[in-house]
Structure 1
Amino acid sequence: MWYIQYVTAQQLAGFRQYKYRAVDSNPLSVYIMQPLWNRIVKIVPLWIAPNLLTLTGFLMILIHYFILSIYDWDYTASGSSPGLIPTWVWGFGAFASFLAYTLDSVDGKHARRTQSSSPLGELFDHGLDSWATSIFPLSFFSVCSRDNGKVGVPVSTMYFSWIVISLNFMFSHWEKYNTGVLFLPWGYDISQVVTVGMYLLTAVFGVDVWHRPFIFGYYLTDILIMLIIVCCVFISLPQTFYNIHLAYGKRTLLKDSLYEGLLPLLSPMLLFTLLTIWVFLSPSEILVKQTRLFLWMVGVMFSNVICRMIICQMTHTRSEVLHWLLIPLAVMVYTATAGFQGKWEEPVLAAFTIFVTAVHVHYGVCVGKQLSQHFNIYIFSLKKYTK
């Protein structure tokens, strides 16, 4: 009874015809990281399934996130008392981030090496990436610390930084929805290298290094946030629109109307709109009171919305007009901002967060099982699937 076939018959047929196409033009990736990944993939045992590499990398950043949640639930530990987060947590963060970055980069190479490439593997990879995209900044915010009047950044800055990062990921896959080619964003490799360096710097010098003026009165946290915005807004997004413009000029766009081309953006933009309304009109200032819980919830919802976009993109099927999770979210936002939830706004948020997390995990498990049966392969093994 628990199993639901989320992928339609039309989409399953589309997966059969799917061919992966990607372009990586980032000099950092092409000239430095790719040669490194080519060496590393050679030491991966041939019996390991590529999806197991992908999952291991995701679990590493998830474990680090949960460790930080224990020591720094409300994002105040770094700003109020640096000793609250042990040095080993930052060292582990550097290790976990580098390992996740490495495994996410070699899983496709390993799949080709073991002749086990499949649409299931790509969907599994990009689906977890859509969730990891949210987890990375949520862990980064523990380094920044929330504003306490002396150091740190406002929670509103955390929220809008998350939106910018999420938009970057979303537009990358929306670009592929329209062009059929995944142009890997330059900001991804830069952000991963910076993340590893940031954790190493914190492990060696402590969080105090982030809470002292660095240059012209700006703190390192301010510079990092500005770097995130610059990479996303002034590098990755213009690249996306330029590639779509080129495809339009060459008449290679996959969608024959502006409406169809923009359709996948409707649900994500409604998601961002509803969440922003909740943030600004919440009577109890829910983002301030429950920063980590709120940002976790929005990250899970974003991942679920984007996973459905990725499936439509890979199968060349029409994107859904409205994601069904937006309906209970709209109810949540209305009842909260209208004051109906009152003092129960925080407990209701907690219950809704558990609900959407369970829905997302259920969705991922069911889609994985459905495609595993369809392609007659196991997700985490190179053996053939036996019905």
Structure 2
Amino acid sequence: MGRFLSKENLEGFDKYKYNSIDTSVLSNYVMHPFWNWCVQFCPVWVAPNLLTFTGFLLTVLNFLLFSYYDYGFFALTEAGGDGIPRWLWAVSAVNLFVAYTLDGIDGKQARRTGTSGPLGELFDHGLDSYSAVFIPACLYSIFGRDELSPLRMFFVIWNIFINFYLTHWEKYNTGVMFLPWGYDFTMIGSCLLLLITSAIGPKAWRVALPGGLTPGVVFELVLYLSAMLTSQTTILFNIYKSYRDGTGKMRSFNEALRPLYPVTIFFAVSSAWALYSPSDIVDRAPRLFYILTGTIFSNINCQLIVAQMSGTRCSAWNALLLPYTVCCVASLTILNPTAELLLLYTLTAACTVAHVYYGTRVVQEMCEHFKINCFHIKPKIK
């Protein structure tokens, strides 16, 4: 079936050492002490990757529950009542907090059990790149399409994707993972937002604020502004500083920008489909369109993570972009709404299978190379 990791990739993983800097006040003074307390209750036979995967599945579970009760992101019924049961908001808040906690203690469990290694980081960040679509899609149901159109939410999700991707692009060029401040605040804020909604219901957010704003618009603006002020500018400065001080990878200008090519092409093509769809496909099937976008984004991001961790050259293209671009062109030229929707369903299914297969094979190849098991800690030979 072919291999996804080259000999150069695997040799790079052999030399890899994790290097990160976390200056977040919330992370260092609140969350890490809490995670240190939590991890002591975790049995030493539990594999760290099992914690990571369980947390990821909780975000998928939230997405599936919201898909059942609010597939079209309306939040409220036609009569103006709550379309989503109050218990679901509370359950999703707990699930998200548990997922966030498991994501925080998996590395600590790895060090505690002596199983730290490249696979754990790749597995963790790879699943995080997929969760980047599942979590905001659940939050969208708080406000719904009456507050925020599906098209605008599409670009909000892309804003989250770009911030996530740039963090790994930053490490690709600097060799250091600068953990963003916004992640911890966003996760805690999201949990609180879901918990509050369980008490007051989504209808309570339909209020007018000073200046003609609404909570949905404030939610949108906060995500954009925080991205620009706390993430994107910091990333660019860190890369500049690494070149100025000679501490980074010191790649040429073209090589430094190379990882941005596939994600830029994908953003351009997906935006064209969203903006110029003859049948307004984003409005007709927003949840499906988001998942398709998130799946291909995760695949592009995972390939960047592999290159960044193994110290190899990042690909300037992604194989999933070819069928996606072909389907986009076909959709823009075929004026049949049913055909466009069928194309979206088919492409989503195919890309999901391809991405899951890619992720599974990469993990298997790393396990074979390091002679380890992804979800099981081998007992030490005395």
TM-score normalised over the length of structure 1? 0.95
Match of 2:158 in 1: 163
Query: C-alpha distance in 2, partners of 1:133/1:342?
Result: 29
Give 2:205's aligned residue.
Answer: 210
What residue is the counterpart of 2:94 in the other structure? 95
Matches within 5 A, 1:153-232: 153-232=148-227
Of residues 12, 16, 27, the one that matches 2:14 is: 16
Which position in structure 1 is the counterpart of 2:116? Answer: 117
Deviation readout 1:302-360 (Å, 9 max, x if unpaired)? 00000000000000100112111111111111111122665300011100000000001
Is the 2:207–2:214 Cα contact (8 Å) retained in structure 1? yes
Secondary structure of 1:78's counterpart equals: coil
SS at match of 1:374: helix
Task: Please say if 1:320 is aligned against 2:315.
Answer: yes
Corresponding residue of 1:310:
305
CA distance in 1, matches of 2:81, 2:140: 14
2:31 is equivalent to residue 33 of structure 1: yes
Change in 2 beyond 3 A, CA 1:82/1:55? farther
> 1:212 aligns to what SS in structure 2?
coil
Higher deviation after alignment, 85-94 or 225-234: 225-234
Q: After superposition, give the CA deviation of every residue in 1:2-47 in whole Å (9 maximum; x if it has no partner).
A: x541111110110000000111001111111111111111111111
**One of 64, 67, 80 as aligned partner of 1:69:** 67
Is the deviation greater in 341-350 or in 93-102?
A: 341-350
What is the alpha-carbon distance in structure 2 between the residues aligned to residue 43 and residue 125 of structure 1?
A: 21
Question: CA shift at 1:213, angstroms?
Answer: 2.0
Q: What is the CA deviation profile of residues 85-115 of structure 1, one whole-angstrom value per residue up to 9, with x for unaligned ones?
A: 1011100111011001101011001100111
* Contact preservation (8 Å) 2:22, 2:179: yes
Quick check: 188-197 or 329-338, which moved more? 329-338
CA deviation after TM superposition for structure 1 residue 212, in Å: 1.4
User: Is residue 145 from structure 1 mapped to residue 144 from structure 2 by the alignment?
Assistant: yes
Q: How many Å separate the matches in 1 of 2:30 and 2:222? A: 21
Structure 1 residue 78 displacement after superposition: 2.9
Q: CA deviation at 1:233?
A: 1.4
Q: Which amino acid aligns with 2:105?
A: V
Sort the Cα spacing of 1:209 and 1:49 in 2 relative to 1 into closer, same or farther, 3 A: same
RMSD value over aligned CA atoms?
A: 1.4
Tell me if the contact between 2:243 and 2:250 (Cα under 8 Å) persists in the aligned partners: no
Identity, % of aligned pairs? 37
CA contact (8 A) 2:73 2:140 kept: yes
**Corresponding letter in the other structure for 1:65:** F
Deviation at 1:218, TM superposition (A): 2.3
Question: Which amino acid letter does the alignment assign opposite residue 53 of structure 2?
Answer: L
Structure 2 stretches of 5 or more lacking a match?
Answer: none
Q: Which amino acid aligns with 2:276?
A: L
1:242 counterpart SS class:
helix
Q: How far, CA to CA, are the matches of 1:195 and 1:82 in structure 2? A: 23
In structure 2, C-alpha distance between the alignment counterparts of 1:96 and 1:109, rounded to whole Å: 20
Which of 256, 274, 292 matches 2:287?
292
* 1:258–1:40 Cα change, 3 Å: same
DSSP-derived class of the 1:235 partner: helix
3-state SS of the aligned residue for 1:253? coil
Aligned length: 379
The 5-angstrom pairing of residues 294-373 of structure 1 reads 294-339=289-334, 343-373=338-368
CA distance in 1, matches of 2:26, 2:120: 25
Unaligned runs of 5+ in 1: none
Alignment deviations for residues 193-219 of structure 1 (CA, whole Å, 9 cap, x no partner): 110000000001111121112444422
Asked if structure 1 preserves the Cα contact closer than 8 Å seen for 2:77 and 2:83, the reply is no
TM-score calculated relative to the size of structure 2 = 0.96
CA shift, 1:226, in A, is 1.6
The answer to whether the 8 A contact 1:186-1:235 is kept is: yes
